Amino acid sequence: MKKVLALAFMMSLAACSNPDKPAQSAAKISGAGATFPAPLYTAWAGQYKTTGGAELNYQAIGSGGGIKQIEANTVDFGATDKPLKPEELDKAGLYQFPTVMGGIVPIVNLTGVEPGKLKLTGALLADIFLGKVTKWNDAAIAALNLDVKLPATPITVVHRSDGSGTSFLFTTYLSSQSPEWQSKVGGSDTVEWPVGLGGKGNDGVAAFVKQTEGSIGYVEYAYAKKTGGAYAVLRNKAGQFPAPGGASFAAAAASADWTSAKGNYLLLLDQPGEGTWPITGATFILIHKEQADAGKGAAVLKFFDWAYAKGDGNASELDYVPMPETVKSMVRGQWSAIVAKGKPVYQPSAS
């Protein structure tokens, strides 16, 4: 009898630590937050469920909403593209880790302008969103686009209306490119926009731009691809205009030093290198360090352990950049700090 019980206990431990074999009676888990990674989390959730893993209910409500919900303990994890600083994490009793990296692109609705043909600089983009450049045939835009026929159409700015990590990355980038933007608006997940219309989520901004001639907005690249609309390319620190996509996002992440990033707080904006996309960032998961329900905490970490092990294909297909294996191993090592009654809730796999 003792041998049978011991064998059962060992099988239970193996099931908990192997992301390839989720428990058949897996609990449902809930998450909310960033719209930036929503297409990927949806793909991961569907594939994970087919393996017998936990069912994931993810609400793409924006990074600000995700932070509020995890702080209020109304979801099992929050998701944000605006990483919390170490002091913010400590105050809320939270831990954060990155899942994937991606890029934010300006999208436009200009008849006759194909994707990737319109060139902009960060400073010019800031002037457009400040309301200083108001027509598409403005001399500053025309000087960068001698081979593009630009109409005299008024520019309609479209921005996020909700608390957004995408907005945080976009406005923080504009702050680095324009002293005027930095002083008047700044970089945050919610700002006082000088001009424009507000859309909720990446999909809301994409929808507004798609239906408004002469408009410009900003979305995560997966949404730009999904809508099939035109996007602008940006001049990077090296003076080049690379195409957005997995290669240029990975180039921006190449020099990232995660081991020195306290609390895993790291931004990837305006990185050096000829092939780097200038508005690149990681997206993060937030989870309470002290878990009231050990099973739920374990289920969340198990899902992302599986995603680290088996989800890179989905990420690449959707033009996200998977985290390097060294970063995945580092993060898995940090998970022992997620506890219930003083004991770690999950033993990660060795993969």
pLDDT at 255: 84
Whether 92 has a pLDDT exceeding 70, the answer reads: yes
Note whether 61 and 204 are within 8 A (CB).
no
Cα–Cα distance list, 163 to 31, 62, 80, 85, 264 (Å): 16, 6, 10, 17, 21
Note whether 78 and 31 are within 8 A (CB).
yes
Q: What is the band of 225 on the pLDDT scale with cuts at 50, 70, 90?
A: confident
Taking only the tens place, the pLDDT of each residue in 230-288 is 999 999 999 999 999 999 999 999 989 999 999 999 999 999 999 999 999 999 999 99
Q: Where are the alpha helices (DSSP H) in the chain?
A: 2-17, 38-50, 63-71, 86-92, 122-130, 139-144, 165-177, 179-184, 201-211, 221-227, 246-253, 294-310, 312-317, 325-334
Integer-rounded Cα Rg, in Å, for the chain is: 21
Q: Which helix (H) or strand (E) holds 33?
A: strand 29-33
Half-sphere exposure of 259 (CA within 13 A, CB side): 6
- CA distance between the termini of the chain: 33
- Looking at the chain, the whole-number percentage of residues with pLDDT higher than 90 is 88
What is the set of domains in the chain, with CATH numbers?
A: 27-102+280-344 (3.40.190.10), 104-257+267-275 (3.40.190.10)
Whether 142 has a pLDDT exceeding 70, the answer reads: yes
Distance CA 125, CA 117 (A): 15
Longest dimension (CA), the chain: 84
Least confident piece of the model among 129-138, 179-188, 201-210: 201-210
pLDDT at 350: 57
What is the mean predicted confidence (pLDDT) over 99-118? 95
